[in-house]
């Protein structure tokens, strides 16, 4: 382990389970002083305990609520005197066809997945500007920016919006030494995927990935840690696709050489 983030103060929003838990473990392993915010208190505290951190490193926050994220940033700044890394990973992906989706449901998905990126950025921006340094990293998705599935219109719209926000923020903050980037996960084997999708569907997803396996939370965490490190100091306004090659084939037929002739 390189401990590339030794002593860096990191805020991770959305870390109780799945990808977020993997990111939390990686940031701690790399030496970051981690503070976690999540609305799932029970799972969040369990993650903190598993990582060997004190309970006061966890805060119950709702990523859709401006005041929650502002208070979290203020607490971290007051305790440590700086904020070096912001990772906004919180997200929801309810399945609902457009015709069945209410305006309230649509607004809620965009609030949790997209508005939270804006609010979290605003909460951490002033201290990062003051120290003329910072890393902002957002969990986007291949769904929206690259591909789409039935029933995920709100989610896809939010994730595509995150990619646009990353570019805009990167341009605005570049003169202050703040980089803004994102990671686009493909299909990652998480508790949520296993509970929301049938084994048959998961196997179908597996077959669509050229590298022959679903991704793991650690695959996303490795990309996040890189973007948070000094190794990525000249990278801003972009995303890293972590999907095992899923978005590469023009069609599923191209995955099977037997169909080429």
Which active-site residues does the annotation give?
155
Closest CA to 187 of 145, 219, 158, 161: 219
Q: How far apart are the first and last CA of the chain?
A: 47
Residue 156, C-beta contacts closer than 8 angstroms, at least 6 positions apart: 141, 143, 144, 148, 149
Q: Do residues 216 and 19 touch, judged by C-beta distance below 8 A?
A: no
- Collapsing DSSP to helix, strand or coil, 86 comes out as strand
- Rounded to whole angstroms, the Cα distance separating 57 from 42 reads 14
Closest CA to 140 of 96, 181, 85: 181
- Look-up of token digits 């440590």: 80
């Amino acid at each position: 382990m390189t401990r590339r983030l030794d002593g860096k103060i990191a805020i991770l929003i959305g870390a109780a389970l799945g990808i977020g838990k993997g990111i939390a473990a990686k940031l701690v392993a790399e030496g970051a002083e981690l503070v976690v915010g999540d609305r799932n208190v029970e799972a969040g505290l369990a993650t903190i305990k598993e990582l060997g951190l004190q309970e006061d490193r966890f805060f119950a926050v709702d990523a859709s609520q401006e005041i929650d994220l502002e208070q979290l940033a203020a607490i971290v700044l007051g305790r440590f005197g700086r904020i070096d890394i912001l990772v906004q990973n919180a997200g929801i992906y309810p399945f609902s066809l457009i015709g069945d989706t209410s305006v309230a449901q649509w607004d809620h998905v965009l609030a949790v997945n997209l508005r939270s990126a804006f609010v979290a950025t605003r909460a951490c921006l002033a201290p990062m500007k003051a120290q003329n340094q910072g890393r902002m990293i957002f969990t986007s998705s291949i769904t929206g920016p690259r591909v789409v599935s039935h029933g995920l219109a709100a989610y896809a719209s939010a994730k595509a919006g995150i990619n646009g926000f990353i570019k805009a923020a990167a341009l605005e903050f570049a003169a202050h030494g703040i980089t803004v980037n994102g990671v686009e996960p493909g299909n990652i084997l998480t508790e949520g995927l296993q509970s929301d999708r049938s084994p048959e569907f998961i196997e179908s997803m597996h077959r669509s990935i050229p590298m022959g396996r679903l991704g793991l939370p650690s695959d996303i965490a490795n990309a996040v840690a890189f973007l948070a490190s000094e190794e990525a100091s000249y990278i801003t306004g972009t995303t890293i696709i972590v999907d095992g090659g899923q978005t590469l084939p023009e069609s599923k037929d191209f995955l099977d050489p037997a169909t080429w002739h």
